[in-house]
Amino acid sequence: MRFRRCRSVRVAAACVVLTLCALPLSALSHALRAQVAPPVGAPDTVRSIAQPRNPLPTEAASAQTTRFSFIAYGDTRGRRDGVSEQYEHSLVVESMLRTIKNMENGPEPVRFVLQSGDAVVNGRDPKQWNVSFIGLINRLTTIGGVPYFLAPGNHDVTSAAELSAPGRLVGLQNYLRAVGQLIPADGATRRLAGYPTYAFGYGNTFVIAFDSNIAEDSTQLAWVRGQLEGLDRTRFTHVVAFFHHPAYSSGPHGGTTIERPTLAVRANYMPLFRRHNVEMLFTGHEHFFEHFVERYRDAAGQPRRIDQIVSGGGGAPLYTYQGEPDLRAYTEASGADSARVTHLVRPGVRAGDNAYHYTVVHVDGARVWVEVIGVDWGAGYAPYQSNKSVLGDTLVRRD
């Protein structure tokens, strides 16, 4: 199906940058945390997104929950960021609010939202957060009442791999101000201090967010490894990771192109995810929908599966299919894991073939399935010949 695209389109101070850049790396986290809490009424300061009306309960309190849903999507940056509210993203948010309302009294209410990055075009500009993004997310947390979790994209904190890069530090402090009331606090068990890296558990599902812009960073990798190694898998039967750069994709950032963060995700995180049987990856960076399945054998020789969903249709200009990713070196490097990757859903080759959208992930005990919801001119989007598909090798009931 081809969709008709809609035609209607409804820095930080230099002294701060220089001060932070002059610090040794050991002092950066402390300095950054000090910058995240500006004086009340300070000009050009990113506002915090409102706390959710229905916050997640403690992990212990939700231990018996096995049936619920969550929303996952990404890439909401708009063409007029800093000038007006993100129009295409607003269509997505309005549809989400209807979905949340329609499901709230059903068997699988929506309990939280995951966003895989690129909230705004330039995360170093407070005006873009305040004018274009935060008001929309406040609607989700207050009217929808749901917690909202954002992983940083390259547009949010820059694509720099160096923790001390000046642009990164400014973008990161703006990101942390925006999500300060939504993610675990520095010092919490489920937060890596000074990083946009955190985790939470709800019911039978454990969720990890990390910064794929710095996928080479050993401190972040060690923290994610520690979270997975210490996880009670009798309690958390499903493990989800969400981050910005896909391990493989077929858009302008993928295909025959292999970007630095992608290489680092493949080399550092994918073996870790196979080792700990992480089931679902939600990413963005490519502005369309596609679905890959990676099959492998675990240490006991049992067949396993990772579903990687690229959902970058949150409002950024849509992309098209550019070619299959070159995975020869990746699959060879998997060695004993015997990773095999299948491209289950490909995006369209024409701009009108792809739609602004979000996904609803349904969890019912061991069963998990995904629903892809196109918005506005993309209503009726059916990437699987329907808009639903099983995740993992499980039977599914679609009540």
pLDDT in tens, 348-397: 999 789 999 999 999 999 999 999 999 999 999 999 999 999 999 765 44
List the CATH number of the domain containing 264: 3.60.21.10
- Give the CA distances from residue 261 to residues 215, 322, 399, in Å, rounded to whole numbers and listed in that order: 6, 19, 39
Token code pair at residue 141: 């947390």
Which range marks the domain in which residue 185 is found? 14-390
User: What pTM value is reported for the model?
Assistant: 0.89
Residue 301 lies in a domain: yes
pLDDT in tens, 260-294: 999 999 999 999 999 999 999 999 999 999 999 99
Amino acid of residue 109: P
Residue 397 lies in a domain: no
Residue 259 lies in a domain: yes
Residue 399 lies in a domain: no
12 band by pLDDT with thresholds 50, 70 and 90: very low
- Of 150, 160, 144, give the one whose Cα is nearest residue 111: 144
Residue 395 lies in a domain: no
pLDDT the model gives residue 373:
98
- Of 124, 89, 123, give the one whose Cα is nearest residue 318: 89
Residue identified by tokens 């099983």 is 390
Does pLDDT of 16 surpass 60?
A: no
pLDDT in tens, 31-72: 444 333 333 344 589 999 999 999 999 999 999 999 999 999
18 band by pLDDT with thresholds 50, 70 and 90: very low
Token code pair at residue 106: 């059903």
Residue 110 lies in a domain: yes
Where helices occur in the chain by DSSP H, the ranges are: 14-21, 25-36, 87-103, 126-127, 134-138, 154-157, 166-179, 218-229, 260-264, 270-275, 328-333
Residue 253 lies in a domain: yes
Query: What contacts 167, CB < 8 A, 6 or more positions away?
Result: 124, 158, 160
Q: Is there a contact between 152 and 175 (Cβ–Cβ < 8 Å)?
A: yes
Number of domains in the chain: 1
C-alpha 295/C-alpha 324 separation (Å) is 18
339 band by pLDDT with thresholds 50, 70 and 90: confident
- Of 53, 170, 191, give the one whose Cα is nearest residue 120: 170
Residue 191 lies in a domain: yes
The proportion of the chain whose per-residue pLDDT surpasses 70, expressed as a percent, equals 87
